[in-house]
C-alpha cells in the first residue's frame, strides 16, 4: 500500500479520498490503540502504579488528520485536543465530531511547530503517522532547529511526568537520529522501537517521558 505524501495527498479531493479509505482507517485506528498501550509501558518509569491517578487524561492528538486517531483515543476514555495544520483534514474530523456527538474533543487548526497551547496543560501526547511532517521543505540547520524547538515546546506544554508516544516514518537512520536527539536534548527520557528491528526506515515508535 502506498504511503500518502504530505501535503498533496491530504488536501482537496485527496482529503475526501483519504477519509473514505477503509484500509487507512483500519491502520490508523489499530496503530492508535497500540500507541495507547505504549503510553502505559513499564519501561517508561516507576510511576506506572499511579498513572491513572488523574484519569481521564487530556491527550494532545498531534496531527489528528480526519479524526481516526482522536476517535480511538476518546473511545478509550480520554479527553482530546486534536491539532492539524491542514484545514481540509480537520474539516473531516469536525464532521465526525458532530455526527458522532463527541463532547470530549476540541479541534485546533495550527502548525505543530507553533501550538496555541498553555504551559503544563497537557497530560500526554500521541502522534500517529504525522510527526516527520514537521520537517517538510526544511533542510540542514533550519531542519535541526525546528525539530529541536518542537521537542522543547512539547516539553513545555506537558504536565509533570507527561508522556509522548510518536508513531512515524523517518526516511533513514540519519533522520531518525535527528528526531531522537531532539528529545534527548530537550528534557525527555525514553526509547525507540520498531516492528522490524533491522529496518532502516519505515514505521517507528518513540516512547518518551518528560524528565522531572
Residues with Cβ within 8 Å of residue 190, at least 6 apart in sequence: 44, 164, 183, 206, 207, 208, 209
- Taking the C-alpha atoms of residue 163 and residue 188, their distance in angstroms, rounded to an integer, is 9
CA distance 178 to 87: 28
Confidence bin at 142 (pLDDT 50/70/90): very high
Q: How far apart are CA 192 and CA 108, in angstroms?
A: 28
Does residue 156 register a pLDDT over 90? yes
Give yes or no for residue 49 having a pLDDT over 90.
no
Predicted pLDDT at 42: 85
Alpha-carbon span 100 to 17, nearest angstrom: 20
Tell which residue, 65, 117, 60, 126, has the closest CA to residue 90: 65
Of 5 and 82, more confident: 82
pLDDT for the residue numbered 7: 85
Alpha-carbon gap, residue 80 to 200, rounded angstroms: 32
- Of residues 42 and 90, more confidence is placed in 90
The string of pLDDT tens digits covering residues 97-133 is 988 788 889 999 998 878 889 999 999 999 999 998 8
Predicted confidence band of residue 60 (pLDDT cuts 50, 70, 90):
very high
Does 150 score more than 90 pLDDT?
yes
**What is the reported pTM?**
0.92
- Percent of the chain past pLDDT 90, that is, above it, reads 64
Burial profile 68-105: b = 16 or more Cβ within 10 angstroms, e = fewer: bbbbbbbebebebbbbbbbebbbbbbbebbeeeebebb
The class that CATH gives domain 8-210 is: alpha beta
pLDDT of residue 48: 54
Q: What pLDDT sits at residue 145?
A: 93
- Indicate the SS3 state at residue 101: coil
Q: What pLDDT is recorded for position 8?
A: 84
Amino acid 46: pLDDT: 63
Amino acid at each position: 500500500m502506498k504511503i500518502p505524501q504530505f501535503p498533496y495527498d491530504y488536501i482537496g479531493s485527496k482529503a475526501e479520498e483519504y477519509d473514505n479509505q477503509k484500509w487507512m482507517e483500519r491502520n490508523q485506528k489499530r496503530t492508535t490503540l497500540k500507541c495507547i498501550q505504549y503510553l502505559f509501558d513499564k519501561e517508561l518509569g516507576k510511576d506506572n502504579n499511579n498513572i491513572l491517578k488523574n484519569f481521564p487524561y487530556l491527550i494532545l492528538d498531534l496531527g489528528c488528520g480526519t479524526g481516526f486517531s482522536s476517535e480511538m483515543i476518546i473511545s478509550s476514555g480520554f479527553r482530546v485536543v486534536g491539532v492539524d495544520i491542514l484545514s481540509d483534514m480537520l474539516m473531516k474530523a469536525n464532521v465526525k465530531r458532530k455526527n458522532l456527538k463527541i463532547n470530549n474533543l476540541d479541534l485546533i487548526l495550527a502548525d505543530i511547530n507553533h501550538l496555541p497551547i498553555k504551559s503544563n496543560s497537557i497530560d500526554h501526547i500521541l502522534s500517529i503517522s504525522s510527526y516527520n511532517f514537521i520537517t517538510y521543505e526544511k533542510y540542514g540547520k533550519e531542519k535541526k532547529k525546528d525539530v529541536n524547538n518542537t521537542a522543547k515546546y512539547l516539553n513545555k506544554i506537558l504536565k509533570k511526568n507527561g508522556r509522548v508516544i510518536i508513531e512515524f516514518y523517518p526516511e533513514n537512520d540519519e533522520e531518525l537520529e535527528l528526531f531522537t536527539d531532539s528529545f534527548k536534548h530537550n528534557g525527555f527520557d525514553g526509547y525507540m522501537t520498531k516492528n522490524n528491528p533491522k529496518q532502516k526506515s519505515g514505521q517507528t515508535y518513540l516512547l518518551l517521558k518528560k524528565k522531572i
